Amino acid sequence: MNRSRVCFLGGLAVLVLTGCQAVAGPQASNETGASKPASVSGDKAKAAPANGPMIERRETIVATGYAVISVQNHKVASQQRLLAIRASKLDAYRALAEQVFGQYLDATTTVADMTVMSDSFRARVEGIIYGATLVSITPIGDDTYETTLSLDKAAVQALRALYPTQVQVR
């Protein structure tokens, strides 16, 4: 089960992603006699003792992007499909950047006579993504493409270290 929440810290919003993964399969014993999982599928997780909480240690982050074929701005159907694939890939990159660097949120509320007159939110994602692995590009139904990308934990750490220097350059 994956969960996400947005935390507001001093006017900045921080997207916090948490999750857990069940460990299944036969138990193997080490030299001390303690049991440990024989294998873990998907993201690697480290299991705590049976009476303690399970702590997940994600080795990769995964993001999925979507695009609708029929809304692409071209008259030829095959070109619309190619544009949808490209758009779904860009959406997946945006989702990766959101997970690595967070989202900037700007909110404005106008109140008059103790009544909310208008309420607007704008979100912006900014960052640099490199080293992402294309996991899949899949048609979903007749009119949508889904693209899944993954990013290694080491690349995430390198991107987070590099990004503040890129912001100062601008």
Q: What is the pLDDT of residues 7-46, one digit of tens each?
A: 433 333 333 333 333 333 333 334 344 433 333 334 444 4
Left (φ > 0), alpha (ψ -120 to 50) or beta: where does 89 sit? Answer: alpha
- 164 and 134 share one domain: yes
Same domain for 64 and 43: no
List the domain range (segments joined by +) for residue 46: 1-58
Q: Are residues 152 and 101 in the same domain?
A: yes
pTM score = 0.60
Question: Which two three-digit tokens encode residue 93?
Answer: 């990159």
As for how many domains the chain has, the answer is: 2
Q: How far apart are CA 52 and CA 60, in angstroms?
A: 24
Domain final residue, candidates 58, 91, 106: 58
The number of beta carbons lying within 10 Å of the beta carbon of residue 97 is 21
pLDDT recorded at residue 161 = 86
Indicate if 41 and 90 belong to the same structural domain: no
| 16, 85: one domain | no
Residues 35 and 77 in one domain: no
121 has pLDDT over 60: yes
